[in-house]
Structure 1
Amino acid sequence: MMETIMLFFSALVDLSNAMAPYILFGLVFAGFLHELVPDSIVKNHLGKDSVMSVIKATVFGIPLPVCSCGVIPLAAGIKKSGASNGSTLSFLISTPITGIDSILATYGMFGWIFTIYRVVTSMIISILAGLLSNFYAHEEKEETVQKKPAFSMAAPTKNTSVTSFSAVATPVFPKDTNSEKRGSMVTRAFSYAFGTLLKDIASPLLIGLLVGALITVAVPDNLSEILIKYNWLSYIIVIAIAVPMYVCATASLPIAAGLMLAGVSPGAAFVFLSAGPATNTVTIGVVKKMLGTRTLYIYLGTIIAGSLLFGLGLDYLFRDVNVKELVHMDGDAGLTAWIASLVLWGFVLYYVIKPYFFKDKECNDGSCCSA
């Protein structure tokens, strides 16, 4: 028992050291991106039912460091601002699958080939979904999203039904109005990175690290052998878990690493990285209400089929590579990795514990309510 616990903490430390430097750098980059990108840039380019609008929506969404819950009000905002169904759907898919913080963390953990593959395939899935929506669902009667007097970035909680979701038109890149005029751009960028964005992903990131470490040490050897022998079974299991589950792009990485270290194929792990962040039960309900039933079918069908297809493609690409060699976790992490890991854990634990001491202030600052 004690040996298992020690192995768990060892795996947790290795995962943290492998990801932390890239996550922190990505957060800083995201903070400056948030400050430099004009609020109106997406709204002014996504209104037409055209191929170019869908491509623009996908490209705009790829680098944005927004999680699965944060993208919902953003998508509602650009839809209310006049974006087409296809553009909205492309943005809704591409944004949570990637993000500059997730891209850098993917590179740090899986290497540049895996990273490029993840980004390119997410673009293809997003563009295809948008084009299909514009072509097959443009005549579908859209349900109107009711207006509220105030806008909140809060995702529906367990006490809020998905069908009651509503939002008003807002800037696609909402700024912190209380701090926008205060301090320098550098101060605001760091405030957004570590005060808003990291808070939004703290809880799912903590869960992802714990689950990833647990998978690494707890999956029985015979289960790994079964999944390796019957690769199709691992795909079915992963897709069944990933579609309804809420997990952000960055937090999905340690889980995928745990699966691969346990012997699951890179393709099956990729399916989780693709379908997990792009779908969850809340987003499914919002897509149905905001864009219609036909678009919902396109949304789910494209993500599931695309993830499975590209997962098989990744397995073919890495057919002669040892799965465990794809996960880059140095047992002798340098001082930078240790410092970054300590900083990351300090922020994560702070944001996870804080709501229990300040419950009356929770989710009043426009966050995703994930911390």
Structure 2
Amino acid sequence: MDTVVKILENIVVLANAMSFYILIGLLIAGILKQLIPDDFIASHLGESKSGSVIKATLLGIPMPVCSCSVIPLAKSLQKEGASKGAVQSFLISTPITGVDSILATYSFFGWFFTLYRVVTSVFIAIITGILQNLIESKERVKAEGSGSCSGCCCESHTAEEKKGFSTTEALRYAYVTLFGDIYKALFIGLLFGGLFTTLLPKEILEPLFEYPLLTYFAVLLIAMPLYVCATASLPIAAALMLSGMSGGAAFVFLSAGPATNTVTMGVVAQMFGKKALMLYLGTIASFSILFGYLFDTFFSTLEVLTITTEVENFGLLDTLSTLIMFGLIGYYFIKGRR
């Protein structure tokens, strides 16, 4: 019984640390959705050049899309004529650099780690997209040289009439559409975070944590198939760090996980083929480990994890935000069963 109580307490601790930032992040995402035209990104990503990759990455930063809902948007970009590299860059950068993910990362790990995560994710996304487009260009040249015909279909897209700003629609998108996409993964992330914080014996994990490179690969093997949103993965990473894992290993988990879950792997393979999937996974894995290593090498002395493990140290705003967040989670679970 004491163990169950401790698990619940740790879940509340993790929720208190992030709930306010998630709710605010979702609100900002809803506002951005009203301000950014629906066809804004799709109209800029058609060329198979480095420019389209950089655009896809940078334009994906303000997009209010989580790793759970980025997949259908990526498919729509492909249908609009976006290059392979641009779509893959969008898949990598958008969930991690979303406003809700940025604020939630800050709530656990502070501004430096958050900035490091965003900048490196943008870099990984751009490199992956450029490599994909280079390979695609070479394959196209070979195909043309062998006599095959590759046609270009340039469709004319009529600009949609700009809609007026709607507060109701902004709130609906934030707390119905977006939260409805992530509530299960968020709950699972908090549950696993509470379990890891309570039950993971530090004495068993410490030998592994003494070998950073081995830890990176172990974390990578766990993170890549795990279907957890960029935001929902944060309490798990925080729990692992509370158990003694390094900031670099936490970075590997947070960098590789959101863009490489089993669902995304299947979609990338279906959309672009197995060769593109191997490039996609290999680039993300390699650079995640590299940047994790660099973080531990040069910034290991920084105080990264900013959450407190004492429930009573949280304020009224944190508690109220947690109640609202769990209320929404409960509502969607009940609604989903009907």
For normalisation by structure 2, the TM-score amounts to 0.89
Q: Which residue of 2 aligns with 1:274?
A: 255
2:296 is the alignment partner of 1:315: yes
Aligned with 1:220 (options 197, 201, 215): 201
2:192 is the alignment partner of 1:211: yes
Q: Which residue of 2 aligns with 1:326?
A: 305
Does structure 2 retain, via aligned residues, the 8 Å contact 1:275–1:307? yes
Q: Which residue of 2 aligns with 1:353?
A: 334
- SS at 2:42's partner residue? coil
The separation in 2 between residues aligned to 1:255 and 1:65, in whole angstroms, is: 22
Deviation track 1:208-242 (CA, whole Å, cap 9, x = no partner) reads: 00101111111112123112212223212211111
The separation in 1 between residues aligned to 2:169 and 2:301, in whole angstroms, is: 47
The separation in 2 between residues aligned to 1:345 and 1:31, in whole angstroms, is: 20
Q: 1:319 to 1:245 in 2, by over 3 A?
A: same
- SS at 1:244's partner residue? coil
Q: 1:21 to 1:211 in 2, by over 3 A?
A: same
The separation in 2 between residues aligned to 1:140 and 1:222, in whole angstroms, is: 52
The separation in 1 between residues aligned to 2:268 and 2:213, in whole angstroms, is: 29
Mapping 1:1-371, distance limit 5 Å: 2-140=1-139, 185-321=166-302, 326-329=305-308, 331=310, 332-356=313-337, 358=338
List alignment gaps of at least 5 residues for structure 1. 142-168, 175-179, 359-371
The separation in 1 between residues aligned to 2:106 and 2:191, in whole angstroms, is: 21
- SS at 1:258's partner residue? helix
More helix per residue: 1 or 2? Answer: 2
The separation in 1 between residues aligned to 2:207 and 2:9, in whole angstroms, is: 26
Q: Over aligned residues, Cα RMSD in angstroms?
A: 2.1
1:10 deviation in Å? 1.7
1:306 deviation in Å? 1.1
The separation in 1 between residues aligned to 2:119 and 2:279, in whole angstroms, is: 20
1:39 deviation in Å? 1.4
The separation in 2 between residues aligned to 1:89 and 1:244, in whole angstroms, is: 17
Q: Which amino acid aligns with 1:319?
A: S
The separation in 1 between residues aligned to 2:260 and 2:275, in whole angstroms, is: 16
The separation in 2 between residues aligned to 1:219 and 1:301, in whole angstroms, is: 30
Does structure 2 retain, via aligned residues, the 8 Å contact 1:30–1:65? yes
- SS at 2:46's partner residue? coil
1:284 deviation in Å? 1.2
1:57 deviation in Å? 0.2
The separation in 2 between residues aligned to 1:234 and 1:344, in whole angstroms, is: 33
Identity, in percent, stands at: 53
Does structure 1 retain, via aligned residues, the 8 Å contact 2:46–2:82? yes
Compare 342-351 and 288-297 and name the one that shifted more: 288-297
- SS at 2:258's partner residue? helix
Q: 1:41 to 1:184 in 2, by over 3 A?
A: closer
Aligned residues: 318
The separation in 2 between residues aligned to 1:337 and 1:216, in whole angstroms, is: 20
The separation in 2 between residues aligned to 1:321 and 1:79, in whole angstroms, is: 41
The separation in 2 between residues aligned to 1:247 and 1:97, in whole angstroms, is: 12
Q: Which amino acid aligns with 1:21?
A: F
List alignment gaps of at least 5 residues for structure 2. 141-154
- SS at 1:299's partner residue? helix
- SS at 2:233's partner residue? helix
1:139 deviation in Å? 4.7
